[in-house]
Every structure is written in C-alpha cells, then in structure tokens.
Chains A and B, each alone.
Chain A
Amino acid sequence: GENVEQHPSTLSVQEGDSAVIKCTYSDSASNYFPWYKQELGKRPQLIIDIRSNVGEKKDQRIAVTLNKTAKHFSLHITETQPEDSAVYFCAASIGGATNKLIFGTGTLLAVQP
C-alpha cells in the first residue's frame, strides 16, 4: 500500500540554526503535501502545504520543497527558535484531489537555547 517515510525521527539543533526534515512518498498520484506541527499534548496544526504543480513554497522562516520525479519533499526551518520545538509530521494525499492523507511517523525537533 501507499506509505510515507520521514527522516530523521529526532533532530536537535542550536537556536538560530536551520533544521531540515525529509519525506518520501510512494503514490505517484499524490498531489497534496501538508506539514503539521504538534506540540506536546496538543492537536496537530497545519504550518505549510504544497501542491504538485509547485516546486517550492515559503512562509517567513518556513519553506517546503517538492521533487515529484524523486517523490521527495522537505521542510526547511531557518533561524530556529525554542518555540519551534515540537513534533513535525509530513503527509501525502492518497490519489489525486483528495485530503485522505497518509502521514509520516514524525520528527521530534528540539531547539536548544
């Protein structure tokens, strides 16, 4: 079946450094790739998403890149701050034009002050 692999599972960076989280997906029909942030004990919340007709999208300190040929997409966080510490999940839509999502297993990001 379809799956999404996410790496690394944990990531520790110093405040001000950049963080990169990578995902690969298996379904060639996937066309929507959101990233969710989940703080401890809270609900997941969308931080950025990208659709298959776009290669890169940026929102302030956060950017996402997509390589459809390689079925890779990545989250980049620049100038990390302690409040960026959380679990980050990537996801890919199953098939086209759907928000039926397959999630990665998550990355625990710790930003050390």
Chain B
Amino acid sequence: NAGVTQTPKFQVLKTGQSMTLQCAQDMNHEYMSWYRQDPGMGLRLIHYSVGAGITDQGEVPNGYNVSRSTTEDFPLRLLSAAPSQTSVYFCASSFSRTGELFFGEGSRLTVL
C-alpha cells in the first residue's frame, strides 16, 4: 500500500492563479481531510469528508473548495490564490470516524 499520496510536493503560484492539490489513498478509508500547517499555529482543519459525496467545512475553509467523487480521492482547489495561503498542506485519512489519522507527506505551496 502506498498510503496517502499527495501531489505536487512543491508549488509556486502567483496571486490570483488557481490550482488543485491532489490527494489519494489506497487504504479504503472513508474519512479524509485537509490541514494546513503554519509556523507557530499547528495544524488547522480546512475541509473534511466522511465518505464519497459528503464534504464539510473545518476551521479555515475560506478560499478553498473540495469534492469527493470517489472513496480514494479528495482534491483541494484554490480558485484564486492569495499570499495568505502560503503554507504546507497535509491530506489525512482514517478508516473510521475515531481512528488514527494517516497523513500524506505534505505539499509546500508558496503564493507570490
């Protein structure tokens, strides 16, 4: 099993550009989520999904969209990137609603 796979690992955008961070898991996990990690602020939940077709907002959802058309994939879309979205993004999944979260390797995004 590859676990949780995120692409790209690094990305530089200009303000106003759009992009999608990809996340895929091969563990048949129902629950998937996106976090951003900023210095001194820990990990903050952006969006999460409890199953295909179901998504909900976390602590910091503004500026981000998600969809969950399959169990395996949970892409995160930035429609119009802003410098405040410069961060490291982690996708995570778990088998159950109270199970261990497995994180991807992270995607470092810089918005100029």
Contact = CB atoms under 8 A, between A and B. Distances in A.
Interface string A16-60: 000000000000000010101000001111100101000000000
Contacts, number: 55
Contact of B101 (A6, A101, A102): A101
A44 B90 contact: yes
Main SS class of interface, B? loop
A97 B97 contact: yes
B43 A43 contact: no
26 contacts: A1-B59, A34-B100, A34-B101, A42-B105, A43-B103, A43-B104, A43-B105, A43-B106, A44-B43, A44-B90, A51-B98, A89-B43, A93-B98, A98-B98, A99-B94, A99-B96, A99-B99, A99-B101, A100-B33, A101-B43, A101-B45, A102-B45, A102-B59, A103-B44, A105-B42, A106-B42
Given A43-B106, A102-B45, A105-B41, 13 more contacts: A32-B98, A34-B101, A36-B101, A43-B105, A44-B103, A99-B97, A99-B101, A100-B33, A100-B45, A101-B43, A103-B35, A103-B42, A104-B42
The 4 closest A-B pairs by CB, nearest first: A43-B103, A103-B42, A103-B43, A105-B42
